[in-house]
Amino acid sequence: MTTRTEPPIQTEPDGQAHRLSRMHRMLLLVALGFIAISLVRVVSGEVVLTSSGTARAMLTLALPIAMCALGGLVAERAGVINIGLEGMMILGTWGAGFGGWHYGPWGALLGALIGGALGGLLHAVATVSFGVDHIVSGVAINLVAAGLVRFLSEAVYTDATEGGGPTMSPPLGSVSTFDVPILSSGPNVLGRLENTGVFLISDVGGLLRGLTSGLTVFTLIALAMIPLVWFILWRTALGLRWRSAGESPVAAESLGVNVYRMKYLAVVVSGALAGLGGFVLVMFEQSYREGQTGGRGFIGLAAMIFGNWRPGGLLAGSGLFGYADAVRLRAATSAAILALLLLVGLILAAVGIWDLYRRRYVLSAVLLVLAGLAVVGWAGLDALPHEVTTMTPYLVTLAVLATASQRLRPPAADGVRYRRGEEH
């Protein structure tokens, strides 16, 4: 008598199921975000919250932060803390100004990448070869970069016949822009949706139209870096070696990985990405100006940390800061800033309810109280002081990111001094 065996049931790998689940959560969060912003726009009557101009400004303001955050991600995944992102970005802005002055936009791009990469190389020499504390090296690079670009500007730009001076480069000229066909030009589908004024539909149309109009080829290059870095880190052998150097360099060394080379390459690429962020700033303002980074390197570092060392998370953090800053710049009155207060209240309330569901009663109570205070502030205040308005992007970003209910996990060997042959 023979027994019949059933064929094994084909089950989906846990990793793939986890990825699908994460993707579904991200899509749900995006949809809820659109609904929340649309609801606030209807309640407050502030059209600037979802206008295409605000979305376009958000993209311009968020990209430099995202590039710095991406640079920090590459370095820290390889085990090197990069506090020097601000300094590398500064070097990138000066390189973009110099390269663009002599060779046009593509020269500006090359100059920014070289400037940022040189800063990354200096950080790699100090931390990887000489074992300098990563924080000390990064702070030193920030200080040296600020002084170096002033010296270079006085030496190069002061006597330039085309203009410029000790704090700025000669003007570089503008770059041609384009709109995505059908969506934002020609039939202009998204523009028609924006003009309907219908709840959610017009808001989605306005935000998407801003993200698909007024683009440049350099904007697309910067945006392409985000999926490219994700693919390299999690889908290639190079990315695996980088991550192994950041998680367990001794184990990576035992498997034949040249940990020193991996760290060097990662930190140089990190600097080049920060320089790319500086290039975006220079092309937006059409010249290099001293101090134009405005601490965006530090904001990018914070976005990377709160994004849990992942491209999707750092993109969300960068976009949040860019959106708050765009609303601040485009708002005619402080009423739009107060509307952001209502939006923050809704987000805090949503996170508080979720924590209540997860039985985190103390944290849930704190968040719900803060949400209530935000809503009361929106309803009771008529205007905000100028100082508070200026700080709005930072306050909104901190309020939302600080409530992110996630477990942060940096690479295990991040910031650890490594010497070949030593046990850690």
pLDDT tens digits along 92-150: 999 999 999 999 999 999 999 999 999 999 999 999 999 999 999 999 999 999 999 99
DSSP 6: P
Q: Is the CB of residue 280 less than 8 Å from the CB of residue 66?
A: no
- Position 158 scores a pLDDT of 86
Q: Which amino acid is at 115?
A: G
- Exposed/middle/buried for 360, CB within 10 Å: 0-12, 13-18, 19+? middle
pLDDT digits (tens, 9 = 90+) for 304-314: 988 889 998 89
- Position 404 scores a pLDDT of 60
Q: Is the CB of residue 375 less than 8 Å from the CB of residue 69?
A: no
- Position 406 scores a pLDDT of 55
How many whole angstroms separate alpha carbon 263 and alpha carbon 243? 10
Q: Which residues fall within 8 angstroms of residue 422, CB to CB, at 6 or more apart?
A: 250
Across residues 159-181, what is the average pLDDT?
A: 87
Within its chain, how far is the Cα of 70 from the centroid?
A: 7
Q: Which position has the token pair 């929340």? A: 36
Question: Which of 100, 113, 114 has the alpha carbon at shortest distance from 156?
Answer: 100
Query: Which two structure tokens, joined as six digits, stand for 79?
Result: 């085990």
- Position 331 scores a pLDDT of 85
How many whole angstroms separate alpha carbon 394 and alpha carbon 398? 6
- Exposed/middle/buried for 374, CB within 10 Å: 0-12, 13-18, 19+? buried
| Buried-state track 276-288, b at ≥16 Cβ within 10 A, e below 16 | bbbbbbbbbeebb
pTM: 0.90
Does residue 2 surpass a pLDDT of 80?
no
Beta-ladder partners of 155: none
Among the ranges given (265-279, 280-294, 394-408), the one the predictor scored with the smallest mean pLDDT: 394-408
CB < 8 Å & 24+ apart, contacts of 33-38: 34/200, 34/203, 34/204, 34/207, 35/200, 36/343, 36/346, 36/347, 36/350, 37/203, 37/207, 37/343, 38/199, 38/200, 38/203, 38/204
